[in-house]
Amino acid sequence: MTMGIQGDGGDRHMDGNVLAGPLGELFSVDVTAATGTCAQCGRNGPVAGLPVYANAPGMVARCPGCDNVLMRLVRSPDSAWLDFGGFTALRIPVPGR
């Protein structure tokens, strides 16, 4: 289980920066640098800036505007369950070509 940057945390929320490791295990791009659009209220913002709750069995990122659940990540010993269902889109920066 991961807590906030700077280590041991409490029960309040962290932010999307802490998803960089767990998502980095799965993707070759840094998803925390992406800009996400909330499917419920249309708010745009960086994944790194989202409030993240890590005191559940997994990690849950919510929309700071409307509290909609944007993303859930649960890691089991042999798989990762990832739900990005609260976003309509992610704009992911990629190196220029």
Partner 1 sequence: MAGTAVPRGLTSRPLVWRVARLAAERWETPTARTLTFDVPNWPGHLPGQHVDVRLTAPDGYSTQRSYSLARPDRVELTVERLDDGEVSPYLVDILAVGDEIELRGPVGGWFVWRPTGRRPVLLLAGGSGIVPLMAMIRARREESSGTPFRLLYSVRSPADVYYKDELGHPEPGLDVTCLFTRETPEGWPRPPGRLTASDLSRRAGLADSDPDCFVCGPTGFVEAAANLLVAHGQDPQRIKTERFGPTGG
Residues that bind partner 1 (CB under 8 A): 1-18, 20-21, 24-25, 28-30, 32-35, 44-49, 91-95
In the bound state with partner 1, the residue whose beta carbon lies nearer, of 79 and 94, is 94
Judged by beta carbon, residue 9 or residue 66, the one nearer partner 1 is: 9
Which CB sits closer to partner 1, 10 or 76? 10
Residue 85 beta carbon to partner 1: minimum distance, rounded to whole angstroms: 21
Residue pair 37/30 in contact (Cβ under 8 Å)? The answer is: no
- Degrees to nearest 5, angle at CA 17 with 34 and 63: 65
**Beta-sheet pairing, 51-53 with 59-62:** antiparallel
CA atoms within 13 A on the CB side of 22: 25
Name the minimum Å distance from CB 66 to partner 1: 17
